[in-house]
Structure 1
Amino acid sequence: MHKRQLITGGKDITEATKVLLMIHGRGGSAQDILSLSSYLEVADFTLLAPQATNNTWYPYSFMAPPAQNEPWLSSAIDLLKGIVNEIMSNGISTENIYFLGFSQGACLTLEFVTRNATRYGGVVAFTGGLIGDKVYPENYKGDFNGTPVFIGTSNPDPHVPVERVYATSNILKDMNASVTEKVYNNMGHTINQDEISLANSLILNPSSIHT
């Protein structure tokens, strides 16, 4: 299953007050997703990017029945749980732990935080939704307590139906997340500049907004 392989960036965790966990997509790598940090306002963050075995977190579509993606899905969630516990053992509370993922990494990010809802620093999901052939509300517990969440996606997207994005937003809102969802017409399966700007202004550095 997935082994703990972390690429790090930004501040040393002994000096940082905030940590951003960056989750790569299918076929991508920890180095790929970490390179996105040059566009993000993360000067005060420790950056942690785990590497999936064979560059894939789980084998089938996120819309497949969850059992088809086992045991890899549970292994990926357990890996993230272990990393979060390590971060907290360094004296950093969940309020200062942030998550960012793209595509398969966005799905895994949303699945992890919603199964373990609490007050996080913030969550950025570039094109993703909760995992399964349908949404399984019984899998999700906790209270986001106002955690800011940004979900951006294309309509259409070749991998993520916009209906699943809407359903995901509704679940998170019901669990008291502060969700901003933005759908871009015919954007394609990518990340655009507007999404980067919103991730910075809404999640990573809200104090940078100038009136």
Structure 2
Amino acid sequence: MQSNPHPAHGPFWYGPPLEEAALIIYAVHGRGQTPAYMAQVADRVAMPEVAWVLPAAHNRSWYPQSFLAPIEENQPVLDDALETVRTQLGVLLGQDGPPVGVLGFSQGACLLSEYLLQDQPHLAGAILHTGGYLGSSEREWAASPESNLVGLSVELFTAREDAWVPLHRVEATRHAFRSLGATVELTAYDDPEHHLNEDSIRRIRRYLRHRTVLPTGL
């Protein structure tokens, strides 16, 4: 049985050490990217009190097909990627440290959407930029007995006409999170470029500022 290839490539810590951080963001890159892309996002957000944990996908891809393909066409690689997120976030959440949130872009946003709706973990926040949950059709989601999504603030960003991520799936993802009790804000841009524009960076910075907790003694 082939082992999960993703953990061999990270995650990488970027920013202040744990004892000096006011917030930890687990930031998942997109297809064809590396953790360096999310480090650039961190630099653009420019919050020195935030520590970034940057996972790395094997061969720069978390799963092989489009996120709109039938889920079985992305297996077993998708389950490997979900287990990577589950394990690495579990370590962060198990530490005696600052709050932990997540940020994903493109394929990383899709992966995190799927993980959050499946596992429904306790997080300080979630930012999902240009992505939605996986599958060839819209799905209904049930709250787990241990769901921690009630009251979670989720920020969704996308373009109205993105080349890879249709607006209707991002809207369905918004509905899914709301059905599980999360508070969701969706920002859709008339900007077809597949990127994080300066307005979204400003909004991300503002969102993170509301979730930082300064370490005691500082």
Compute the TM-score of the two structures, normalised by the length of structure 2. Answer: 0.87
- Unpaired runs of at least 5, structure 2: 213-218
Aligned counterpart for 1:3 among listed residues 2, 6, 9: 6
Instruction: Give the match for residue 147 of structure 1.
Output: 152
Q: Deviations over 1:123-165 (max 9, x none)?
A: 1111001111123324764241211111111111111110001
User: Structure 1 residues 109, 42: closer, same or farther in 2, change over 3 A?
Assistant: farther
- Paired with 1:179 and 1:112, the residues of 2 have a C-alpha distance of 17
Return 5+ residue gaps in structure 1 as ranges: none
Matched, 1:103 2:106: yes
Distance 1:207 1:86, change over 3 A: closer
Q: Which residue of 2 aligns with 1:170?
A: 175
Question: What number of residue pairs does the alignment pair up?
Answer: 205
Give distance in 2, aligned partners of 1:110 and 1:158: 19
Q: State the AA in 2 paired with 1:149.
A: V
Q: CA RMSD in A?
A: 1.9
The equivalent position to 1:113 in structure 2, one of 102, 113, 116, is 116
Q: Which residue of 1 aligns with 2:129?
A: 126
Percent identity over the alignment?
26
> What is residue 95 of structure 2 aligned with on the other side?
90
Q: Deviations over 1:110-135 (max 9, x none)?
A: 11112121441111111001111123
Q: CA deviation at 1:40?
A: 1.5
**With structure 1 as the length reference, what TM-score do the two structures score?**
0.90
Q: 2:189 maps to what in 1?
A: 184
CA contact (8 A) 2:163 2:192 kept: no
Is residue 206 from structure 1 mapped to residue 210 from structure 2 by the alignment?
Answer: yes
Query: Is residue 53 of structure 1 aligned with residue 70 of structure 2?
Result: no
Q: Secondary structure at the match of 2:85?
A: helix
Task: Report how far residue 181 of structure 1 moved.
Answer: 0.1
